[in-house]
Each structure stands twice: as structure tokens, then as C-alpha cells.
């Protein structure tokens, strides 16, 4: 083990279980901040040091993670004279006993192809695509694999979930599974966990800190089928207050305007990109006048700051919203609750596909501080989600006369 590393009870049980077992596949599912990475590092070094001329591979989702792990291992090995060389450019460490350790990122899965290794260790498995696992990572152990150890926190039910479930079953003797919550670690504050338990949605806490897979596959918005129901845009009800939420896109993002009434019915969504800002202003003002929007809430981050002033001049019932991580969390949490409680009526997938698609893939990340950061997966958009969340926030804000719920009148 790394000098100075003293595993606590649950960590030791994992290490002892892996070392004592003849099974090939070992899956570790746990809550956050339990020290799973340092546990994997110690297992990696155990096999590389005690098995001369062995080949080991460490895989993480992104390069920043493997840089950190490689640095930790180098720092641990330098005083021991066990390390023969280290090449940071090639992400390779050689030991004096002839063993080699490679470090690779799943974001460049092509760099993994062709390797033939004995010991495979994969960290943060929840963020690795099943396709990369099947076509690039797993084949590395085909010829001479002796041990596969994968670890992470529950998220989507991908290959990581499948391996965990097989490890729990007696029907698959070549698979083993280990799990423990964040509360098992003596280094995680009980006060911190209690604060997270009170502030996070129950399913998020169970997933992130209890280390329990959730039925809805890590989905942020629950009950979408019950609210994505309108196959045509609803007509404006007489004497109904109407609200708008505008998310202004930057570069390749879309600018999206959502129009919603006080009952929670989305009346219209306008979505466009690659438009001149002056044309966006004209279009937004035109739509707001058409629907008689009582108040338009405009995100003022980035180009929104300048555009808000132009919109305000042409449509006086406009207010600014400068988004911070906290304000974004607040409006998303409100949207989550209103969707789950069926307080909204949204356009169906056939009427306006982008909204439903974005709601389905919208994701969150729990930061080290315990705060949640919401957003879209790389390569996708969340402009429709944010526009809806802004409009819904405007609708439900008591200061703006909001608060009526469609669920109460159905």
C-alpha cells in the first residue's frame, strides 16, 4: 500500500475481498468522497509491484483525472526506488521489476485500442460510455486479463450497473460487487451529510451519498410522460396572466423564448440560432406583444446584458435575471417539483421535440462543496430547459402574482 495509507473498515473489506477472490470482475459502487480513487490506486500498485513484468491500465473519463492520479502515484513511488521511469507525455510508468502502468482517458478511447494488459482499473465508471467500454476498454483484457476492477458513484444504468448487479448475484461467480455509503467514511462530516440530506432531492441524495442506483436512471426530471401531453399549442384563456422566459444563446447555442400562462400551460416556444441580435430583439418583442405577456424574465449573462436593454426599451414589462449557479439550481429545482407534481402542461414530443429531448438528457453534477451544478451533456443543448425554467420561475413568483397550479383544476 501507499505509505501512510490506512484504509478504514469498508475500504479494507474491499481490498481484502478483491485480493482474496479468484473472480475476474470486481465492481465498487459507493457514495461520494469515500476515498474510492485512493483504494483503486493501492490495488493498482499492489498488482504491479507484486507481479513482475505485468501490464496494468488505469482508465478515467477525462485527462484531467488521469493526470491527477498519475501524479499521485509518481509522488508515492519516488521515495521507494521502485519506479524506473515515468513519461508524462505517453502517460506511462515503468517499475524496476519490469511492470508497466498505462494511463488513458475514455474521452480518447482510440488511444486504448491495441493494448493488451493483465490488470484493468477504471475510475468514475458512471461517466464512461457503454460503447467505449465494449469496443475499446474491455478488449484490452481479452488475451491475458487477470483482474478487472471498476468503481464509481451510481448514475445511469449502463454497463457499470449491469456489472454491479451480476456481482451481487450468486449466478455469476466470476463477478463480485462491493458497496458502501459516504457515511461509512470517517473523513466525511456527519453535519455535511445532514446538510445535503436536507437540501438535496431525496433521489439525488440516495444516489450521490448513499450510493444507491435510482429507478429513473439518474434522470433530473421525473414524470415527463405526464406533462409532455399537448399535441397543439393551447389557446390563451381570457383574463389569464401570461409570462415569458428568455434564454439568449451564445455562439452555437439557441435563443429560446417560452410563453406560459398562470395555470402552467406552455402556450408557445420560439427557438432560433445564428440570428443577429437586433432580429432576436424584434422577434421577442413581437411575440410578447402578441400574447400580452405580463412580465418577461430575461437571462442577462453574456450577450443577454446588452440585449436586455434593447428589449426593455421596446417592451417595458421586462425584468433581468443574472444567472449564478445558485439561481440556476433554484429555478431548476422549482421546475423539477412542478413537473413531478404535474403542475405543468408542456408540448408533446410530436409538437415540439427539442424540449422533450432536452428534458430527458438534462443532468446534474454534485460539486465537492455539495452544491449541484445542472446542465446538458457535452455536445447537446439545454436552452429550451433553461427558458422553460425561467418562465416557470416568473410564473410562480408570488411577487409577480403567480402561484396557480394546473394540477388543482384538472
Q: How confident is the model at residue 403 (pLDDT cuts 50, 70, 90)?
A: low
Strand partners, 299: 321
pLDDT 10s digits, 40-60: 999 999 999 999 999 999 999
pLDDT at residue 360, as a whole number: 87
Residue 197: CB atoms within 10 A of its CB come to 14
Q: What is the mean pLDDT of the segment spanning 366-387? A: 81
Predicted model pTM: 0.68
- Is 386 within 8 Å of 298 (Cβ atoms)? no
Residue 307 has pLDDT above 50, yes or no: yes
Selection from 1-15, 42-56, 245-259 with the highest mean pLDDT: 42-56
150 bridge partner residues: 27, 122
* Residues 172-188, mean pLDDT to the nearest whole number: 96
**3-state DSSP helix/strand/coil % of the chain, to nearest 5:** 40, 20, 35
Whole-number Å distance between alpha carbons of 34 and 333:
27
Q: What is the pLDDT of residue 222?
A: 84
Query: Closest Cα partner for 219 from 362, 64, 38?
Result: 362
Residue 289 has pLDDT above 70, yes or no: yes
Most confident range (mean pLDDT) of 115-124, 329-338, 373-382 is 115-124
Q: Which of 190, 179, 116, 109 is nearest to 146 (CA)?
A: 116
- Count Cβ atoms below 10 Å from residue 115 Cβ, excluding itself: 17
Within 13 Å and on the Cβ side, how many CA atoms surround 355?
26
Q: What percent of the chain has pLDDT over 70?
A: 94
Mean pLDDT is lowest, of 252-266, 279-293, 316-330, 362-376, for 362-376
**Local confidence band at 138 (pLDDT 50, 70, 90 cut-offs):** very high
Residues in Cβ contact with 27 at an 8 Å cutoff, skipping those fewer than 6 apart: 125, 150, 151, 160, 163, 164, 167, 175, 176, 177, 178
pLDDT tens track for 313-365: 999 999 999 988 889 989 998 999 999 899 999 999 999 999 999 998 888 77
Q: Give mean pLDDT, residues 199-212.
A: 87
- Is it the case that residue 404 has pLDDT exceeding 90? no
Mean pLDDT for the stretch of residues 134-146:
95
Angle at 88 between CA 84 and CA 91, to 5 degrees: 90
Q: Is 273 exposed, middle or buried (0-12, 13-18, 19+ CB in 10 A)?
A: middle
Q: Give pLDDT tens digits for 16-29.
A: 999 999 999 999 99
| Assigned C-alpha cell, 75 | 509522488
Supply the pLDDT for residue 329: 87
pLDDT of residue 264: 97
pLDDT band, residue 292 (cuts 50/70/90): very high
Q: Which range, of 118-122, 144-148, 163-167, 406-410, averages the lowest pLDDT?
A: 406-410
Specify the pLDDT at position 339: 94
pLDDT of residue 29: 97
270-276 average pLDDT score: 93
- CA pair distance 184, 117, nearest whole angstrom: 33
pLDDT-based confidence at residue 236 (cuts at 50, 70, 90)? very high
Instruction: Report the pLDDT value the prediction gives residue 71, as an integer from 0 to 100.
Output: 95
User: How many angstroms separate the CA atoms of 162 and 152, rounded?
Assistant: 13
pLDDT of residue 218: 58
pLDDT of 260 reads 98
What's the confidence (pLDDT) of residue 350? Answer: 96
Categorize the per-residue pLDDT at 155 as very low, low, confident or very high, splitting at 50, 70 and 90. confident
Count CB-CB contacts under 10 A for residue 138: 18
pLDDT of amino acid 408: 42
| Average pLDDT score over residue span 9-38 | 96
Q: Determine the pLDDT at residue 158.
A: 86
Task: Work out the average pLDDT over 107-121.
Answer: 93
Question: Taking 50 as the threshold, does the pLDDT of residue 409 lie above it?
Answer: no
Instruction: Please give the grid coordinates belonging to residue 363.
Output: 443532468
Q: What ranges in 146-230 are assigned the alpha helix state H?
A: 159-168, 190-199, 202-208
Burial (CB count <10 Å: 0-12, 13-18, 19+), residue 111: middle
| Mean pLDDT, range 303-319, rounded to an integer | 92
Amino acid at each position: 500500500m501507499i505509505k501512510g495509507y490506512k484504509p478504514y473498515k469498508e475500504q479494507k473489506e474491499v481490498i481484502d475481498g478483491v485480493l482474496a477472490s479468484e473472480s475476474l470482475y470486481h465492481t465498487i459502487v459507493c457514495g461520494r468522497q469515500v476515498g474510492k480513487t485512493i483504494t483503486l490506486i493501492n490495488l493498482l500498485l499492489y498488482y504491479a509491484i507484486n507481479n513482475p513484468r505485468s501490464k496494468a491500465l488505469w482508465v478515467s473519463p477525462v485527462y484531467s483525472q488521469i493526470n491527477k492520479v498519475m501524479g499521485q502515484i509518481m509522488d508515492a513511488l519516488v521515495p521507494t526506488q521502485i519506479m524506473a521511469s515515468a513519461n508524462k507525455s505517453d502517460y506511462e510508468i515503468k517499475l524496476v521489476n519490469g511492470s508497466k502502468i498505462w494511463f488513458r482517458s475514455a474521452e480518447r478511447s482510440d488511444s486504448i485500442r491495441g493494448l493488451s494488459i493483465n490488470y484493468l482499473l477504471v475510475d468514475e465508471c458512471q461517466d464512461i460510455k457503454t460503447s467505449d467500454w465494449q469496443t475499446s476498454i474491455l478488449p484490452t483484457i481479452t488475451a491475458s486479463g487477470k483482474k478487472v476492477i471498476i468503481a464509481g458513484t451510481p448514475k445511469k444504468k449502463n454497463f457499470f450497473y449491469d456489472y454491479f448487479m451480476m456481482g451481487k448475484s450468486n449466478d455469476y461467480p466470476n463477478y463480485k460487487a462491493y458497496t458502501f455509503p459516504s457515511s461509512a467514511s470517517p473523513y466525511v462530516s456527519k453535519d455535511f451529510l445532514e446538510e445535503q440530506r436536507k437540501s438535496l432531492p431525496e433521489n439525488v441524495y440516495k444516489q450521490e451519498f448513499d450510493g444507491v442506483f435510482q429507478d429513473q436512471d439518474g434522470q433530473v426530471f421525473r414524470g415527463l410522460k405526464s406533462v409532455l401531453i399537448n399535441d397543439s399549442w393551447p389557446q390563451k384563456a381570457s383574463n389569464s396572466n401570461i409570462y415569458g422566459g428568455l434564454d439568449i444563446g451564445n455562439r452555437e447555442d439557441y435563443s429560446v423564448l417560452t410563453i406560459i400562462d398562470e395555470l402552467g400551460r406552455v402556450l408557445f416556444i420560439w427557438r432560433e440560432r445564428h440570428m443577429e441580435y437586433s432580429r432576436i430583439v424584434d422577434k421577442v418583442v413581437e411575440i410578447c406583444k402578441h400574447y400580452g405577456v405580463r412580465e418577461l424574465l430575461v437571462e442577462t449573462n453574456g450577450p443577454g446584458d446588452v440585449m436586455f436593454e434593447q428589449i426593455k426599451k421596446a417592451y417595458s414589462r421586462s425584468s433581468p435575471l443574472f444567472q449564478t449557479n445558485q439561481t440556476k439550481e433554484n429555478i431548476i429545482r422549482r421546475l423539477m417539483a412542478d413537473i413531478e407534481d404535474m403542475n405543468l402542461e408542456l408540448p408533446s414530443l410530436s409538437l415540439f421535440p427539442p424540449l422533450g429531448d432536452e428534458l430527458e438528457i438534462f443532468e446534474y453534477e454534485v460539486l465537492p462543496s455539495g452544491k449541484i451544478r445542472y446542465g446538458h451533456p457535452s455536445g447537446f443543448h439545454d436552452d429550451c430547459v433553461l427558458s422553460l425554467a425561467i418562465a416557470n420561475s416568473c410564473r410562480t413568483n408570488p411577487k409577480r402574482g403567480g402561484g396557480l397550479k394546473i394540477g388543482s383544476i384538472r
